[in-house]
Structure 1
Amino acid sequence: MAARLSAEGVRNVALTWVDNAGITRVKTIPAERLAAAAERGIGMSPVFDVFTSDDAITASEHLGGPDGDLRLFPDLERVTSLAAQPGWAWAPADRYDQLGLPHPACQRQFARRMTERAAAAGLELRMGFETEWVVTRAPAGHPAPGRADEPLDYPCTGPAYGMTRVVELSDYLRDVTEALSVQGIDVLQIHPEYAPGQFEVTTAPGDPVRAADDVVLVRETVRAVSVRHGLRASFAPSVVAGEVGNGCHLHTGLYRDGTSLHRSPDAAWGLAPEATAFLGGVLDALPALLAIGCPSPASYLRLQPSHWAGVYQCWGVENREAALRLITGAPDDPDGGHAEIKTFDAAANPYLAVGAVIAAGLHGIESAAQLPPPQTGDPGALGVRERARRGIVRLPATLTEAADRLEKSAPLHEAMGEVLHGAVLAVRRAEEAHFAESEDDAIAAATRWRW
């Protein structure tokens, strides 16, 4: 493989992992060192598990401080030459200790364990992400980041979802699509979104670990293409406080023996009993899952009623205001029947996101969870009494509340394990404390270019 990469002109390989603050971190090696890295790993500190989004370092009961070392092993099946970064390749990495044992806080291995747990129950999961980002012109010079009054120069001015934006940035969007295709990413859609300068790319579903790998590769590819066009991409949940933010919706489909559990002709909503229980478990766990899928104080600037962000704990059939949306799809579409979690954003570690959702769904099957009646229309348009009558409650409106729910979630604690669960909570508490006295504009500005 190293010889092949060399023949392709690749000189360096980026080995990435995603920390608990959702930041993609990296170690890079010369291509000729790939074999050694695959055999013996690359050294790295375990302290990265308690990094926050602003590169501060906190601590948990098990992690923190200067001591210890881990080994970073590239997944050779995912080594990819980067179309928008000539001379570079990329591979996601798994983390082990120096004795070769899995690092208990490795998020990618957590996602794999949960996928294997589902497989042991006879279930196959196919997952995929929608990635939203805002693109601006890169500023001249290097102004200090994080200013609330930073002017944003949008390269397109057309209306939301408008063809005008495609015309204005057609070369850019073509290059994004081409780079993703060359790298083996199956793009389903790419189009303008609602906010100024906002776009979305949807990729094909697959194995949960691969889906998480794909979304990491998608983000960094979009970032690289943006740089080559003199642009800057932000995947932050809130680019400008008060405007529609960037989501990263997670789509999930369940199968048994290759047959969709979302297409049972005689069942309510087409859901086989296992699919109903799985989705019931996810719906029940959503308050705790927000601490995984919406991990920054900036996430809660995005989670506003009547903004298609899914801020109420309810589900609905093709309802884009429901936190959990059931998608029926075309009858002849093999991936048409599935569910979408609307609340998640790109500050989330995607490996934690897929692993935690699987864990919640499997707990739903074990506990025979059910789904309440589906919500139609916008729950935010209902009065407080009517929402109470229907049993519709607001999901956590702050990171503090979401972290409290995660801390008390026994199923997620068991699935994640003591070390990973504790590290995630430590980072969430540190993020809370850092922004506790900050105004909305300051939070958005400080986190705008972190993702």
Structure 2
Amino acid sequence: MELHERDERRAAAEAVLDDLASAGVVGVVLPWVDTSGITRMKSVPLARLPSAAQWGAGMSPVFDGFLVDDSIVAGTHAGSAIGDLRLHPDLSGLRVLAAQDGWAWAPVDRYTQDGAPHVQCSRSLLRRLVGELAEEGLSVRAAIEVEWALGEGAGPAGSDPRTFRPALAGPAYGMTRHIEVSDYARDLLEALDAQGVAVDQFHPEYAAGQLEVSVGAQDPVAAADTSLLVRTTIQAVSIAHGLRASFSPKVTADGVGNGGHVHLSLWRGTENLMNGGPGTFGLTEDGEGFTAGLLAHLPALLAVGCPSVASYLRLVPSHWAGAYAVWGLENREAAVRFVTGPSGNRQAAANVEVKCVDGAANPYLLLAGLLAAGQAGLRAGCVLPDPVAIDPGTLTEEGRREAGIVALPTSLEEAVTAFERDDVLLTAFGPEVATTIAEVRRGEITLFEGTSPEELTAAVRWRY
């Protein structure tokens, strides 16, 4: 980072101090997401924001090797206590937190002491891949759905962490459940709106106590930032109502888990390449190549999209989780669901939804992997197999084999093995990030070896 850029960052921070102070802000949260998908943070008093913007706030690089339980993998490129990094807030994402009085929030990029982007910074990685697509005249619009389970008790002192008592008793998708959560949902929607988050939909979901919010599409970096901000806001509003929110991929061993579905559309200028072409369901050639790339690399992508041992308790057939590497029109059992949107609005609305990923994922790593896979399919001119219009889980093994339907990995070990064999993702992430992903995943595998589903879900329930 050049000195003039540092000076510009400081000036930008100084320019917003008065407005932030007038809003009652006394401190600014600086969050980032580690390899395990846990949001870590530091904060600075408001008066120190210009210094943080110019020189960064210090944080150890050891967190790249953290596991979900806060133990540390001493890996090849991560997990050392030696060294320091600088957290530089991106003021374009600065928001006053409506559900945390006195606080503002700004996503960060991680730099070395010498001012170079940290090689393990997932946000910088995603920005680089967005830039590579831009060099080809392409852009991607992305949105991440957020599902969570709402439980009773505001914290460890208010509830037994080994249990989950759903805060809502109404039926799945039911009006009764919405009435139960009406005041809570009002406060949440008001807070998100005050923070500039464009909410498309809010509704009760299937599992006990489960809710979902969908947001508008943005560029991928902003979409990942928004995912963090939405989850932070949900946690704050939940605590204010004496409740707890879990984004874990599996909250109870016998329940339906929380997904983190990603919607993607590929654009060239103002043209949505997922619509208006001669291909199946109106896909253009480029849109098909991008989607085929996603589908082809899904087994390896699960190492970043389903990063927990608990993820594979969720990723099972006939649960709308997308357990098979297939695509289809509005098929909620397909790992890649094609969405045309309503007639008359398809140029704006057509997109693909990646359903097999969950709430444990680092959204920057996940979107980076999806862009790399889609770009590889686009460059290679890949074509899609025939779409699947049924639940693959209803077929026999022989029927799936005859149809060319393959199951996605059923364990984290299988996903990591696929990841380590995927040259596209290894090249896109680079050796440091790729090696750390594999080492952290295997660290979690060892951590939970021999653990029952009940013990596993209890262990990770309140970590995400």
TM tier, smaller: over 0.9
Per the alignment, residue 420 of structure 1 pairs with 433
Query: 1:16 and 2:31 equivalent?
Result: yes
Distance (Å, rounded) in 1 between the aligned partners of 2:112 and 2:155: 44
Give the secondary structure class of the aligned counterpart of 2:201: strand
**How far is 1:144 from its partner?**
8.4
- Quickly say closer, same or farther: Cα 1:141–1:15, change in 2 above 3 A: closer
Match of 1:48 in 2: 63
Is the counterpart of residue 75 in structure 1 residue 100 in structure 2?
no
Distance 1:266 1:32 in 2: 57
1:241 matches 2:253: yes
The separation in 2 between residues aligned to 1:446 and 1:335, in whole angstroms, is: 42
- Aligned position for 1:223: 235
Corresponding residue for residue 168 of structure 2 = 156
Which residue of structure 1 aligns with residue 369 of structure 2? 356
Deviation at 1:265? Answer: 4.5
Could you tell me which of 338, 341, 347 is aligned with 2:354? 341
CA distance in 2, matches of 1:263, 1:388: 31
Over 3 Å counting, the alpha-carbon distance change for 1:243 and 1:135 in structure 2 is: same
Distance 1:141 1:198 in 2: 20
Aligned to 1:327: 339
Secondary structure of the structure 1 residue equivalent to 2:292? helix
The 3-state SS of whatever aligns with 1:127 is strand
1:146 deviates by 5.2
For the pair 1:176 / 2:152, whether they are aligned, the reply is no
Offset at residue 377 of structure 1 (A): 1.0
CA contact (8 A) 1:13 1:29 kept: yes
**Aligned partners of 1:222 and 1:437: how far apart in 2?**
33
Give, in whole Å, the separation in 2 of the partners of 1:161 and 1:370.
Answer: 36
**Structure 1 position 443, deviation (Å):** 0.5
- Matched residue type, 2:458: A
Residue in structure 2 matching 1:365, options 369, 378, 382: 378
- Paired letter, 2:111: Y
Shift of 1:64: 2.0
CA drift of 1:142 comes to 1.8
Q: Does 1:95 align with 2:107?
A: no
| Distance in 2 (alpha carbons) for counterparts of 1:46 and 1:163 | 47
Give the Cα–Cα distance (whole angstroms) in 2 for the partners of residues 354 and 364 of structure 1: 15
What SS class does the counterpart of residue 67 from structure 1 fall into?
Answer: coil
1:402 aligns with 2:446: no
- Counterpart in 1 of 2:315? 303
Contact 1:253 1:335 in 2 (8 A): no
Root-mean-square deviation over aligned CA pairs = 1.2
> Are the structure 2 counterparts of residues 175 and 140 from structure 1 closer, same or farther at C-alpha, using a change threshold of 3 Å?
closer
Deviation at 1:141, TM superposition (A): 6.4
Q: Distance in 1 between matches of 2:130 and 2:160?
A: 39
TM-superposition CA deviations, 1:341-377 (whole Å, max 9, x none): 0011110000001111000011111222110000011
State the secondary structure of the residue aligned to 2:108: strand
Instruction: Work out whether 1:112 is the aligned partner of 2:124.
Output: no
Q: Give the counterpart of 1:190 among 183, 192, 202.
A: 202
Q: Say whether residues 1:278 and 2:290 are aligned partners.
A: yes
Q: Which amino acid aligns with 2:207?
A: A
Name the residue aligned to 2:403.
Answer: 390
Maintained 8 Å contact 1:156/1:165? yes
Cα-to-partner distance string for 1:48-101 (whole Å, 9 max, x where unaligned):
111011000002212222101111100011110000000001010000101111
Match of 1:62 in 2: 77
1:7-49 Cα distance to aligned partner (Å, 9 max, x none): 1100010000000100000001001111000000011111111
Aligned length: 448
Higher relative contact order (CA closer than 8 Å, sequence separation 6+): 1
Distance 1:240 1:127, change over 3 A: same
SS at match of 2:214: strand
Structure 1 segment 207-218 matched on structure 2, within 5 A: 207-218=219-230
Check 1:141–1:278 CA distance in 2 against 1; reply closer, same or farther (3 A cut).
closer
Match of 2:141 in 1: 126
Structure 2-normalised TM-score? Answer: 0.95
Q: Is the Cα contact below 8 Å between 1:180 and 1:221 reproduced in 2?
A: yes
Does the 8 Å CA contact 2:326/2:334 hold for their aligned counterparts?
yes
* Gaps in structure 2 of 5+ consecutive residues: 1-15
Helix, strand or coil at the partner of 2:107: strand
- Shift, 1:324, TM fit: 0.3
State the distance in 1 between where 2:161 and 2:298 align. Answer: 31
Q: Which amino acid aligns with 1:136?
A: G
Equivalent position amino acid for 1:63 in 2? A
TM-score, normalised via structure 1 length: 0.97
SS in 2 for 1:84: coil
Q: Deviations over 1:378-430 (max 9, x none)?
A: 00000111100111111000000001111111111110011111111111010
Structure 1 residue 140 displacement after superposition: 7.9
CA distance, structure 2, for counterparts of residue 141 and residue 289 of structure 1: 34
Q: Does 1:377 align with 2:387?
A: no
Percent identical? 48
Partner-residue secondary structure (3-state), 1:335: helix
Please say if residues 263 and 270 of structure 1, whose CA atoms lie closer than 8 Å, have aligned partners that are also in contact.
Answer: yes
Q: Does the CA-based 8 Å contact 1:406-1:412 persist in structure 2?
A: yes
Quick one: distance in 1 between partners of 2:205 and 2:158? Answer: 27
What's the secondary structure of 1:58's corresponding residue?
A: coil
Corresponding residue for residue 4 of structure 2:
none
Counterpart amino acid of 1:361?
Answer: G
Residues 154 and 239 of structure 2 are in contact (CA less than 8 Å); yes or no, is this contact kept in structure 1?
Answer: no
The reply to whether residue 142 of structure 1 matches residue 164 of structure 2 is no
CA distance in 2, matches of 1:153, 1:238: 14
1:268 counterpart residue number: 280
8 Å Cα contact 2:154-2:238 kept in structure 1: no
Q: Distance in 1 between matches of 2:161 and 2:327?
A: 36
Take 1:144 and 1:290, find their aligned partners in 2: how far apart are those partners? Answer: 32
User: Does the residue aligned with 1:66 lie in a helix, a strand or coil?
Assistant: coil
